[in-house]
Amino acid sequence: MIDYLFAFVAGGAITAAVTALELTGYPTLSAIAALFPVVTWLSYIFIGHLDGAAAVSRHAHFVMLGTIFAWMPYMFIIYYYSPRIGVVRSIVFGIIVFLVLAFLFATVYNKYV
C-alpha cells in the first residue's frame, strides 16, 4: 500500500512542478519536467518487483514502439491544433487519435510480435 501512496505523491509532485515552472517563467524547465517518465519509472519499479526484469523488458519494448505510433501523433496534434482550435479541443482530439492508434498498434503488435 505504501508503494501506491508513493506513486500517487510522486505523480502529483511532477504534475505540480510542471505547472509551477511554466507559470513562474521557466518554460524550458517545465518542458524538461514534463518529459520526465514518471509513469514508466514507477510502473517499471512495480512490475519489476512483482514480475521480474523480463516483464519490464517486454513492456518497455511495447511502449517504445507504441510511442512512435500513438504518442508522437498525439503530441503533434496538440502542438499543431492548440493555437487553431484551442487547448481543450486539441487535447480531446489528440486523445481520440491516440486511443485509436494505440488500439490499432496493440492489435498488430500482439498478432505479429
- pLDDT averaged per 10 residues, the chain (length 113): 78 85 91 82 88 96 96 97 98 98 97 91
**Burial (Cβ within 10 Å: 0-12, 13-18, ≥19) of residue 97:** middle
Q: How many residues does the structure list for the chain?
A: 113
pTM: 0.78
Domain boundaries, the chain: 53-113
CA 73 – CA 75 distance, rounded (Å): 5
pLDDT of residue 57: 97
CA 104 – CA 108 distance, rounded (Å): 6
C-alpha cell of 107? 492489435
pLDDT of residue 89: 98
pLDDT of residue 11: 77
CB contact at 8 A, 97 and 80: no
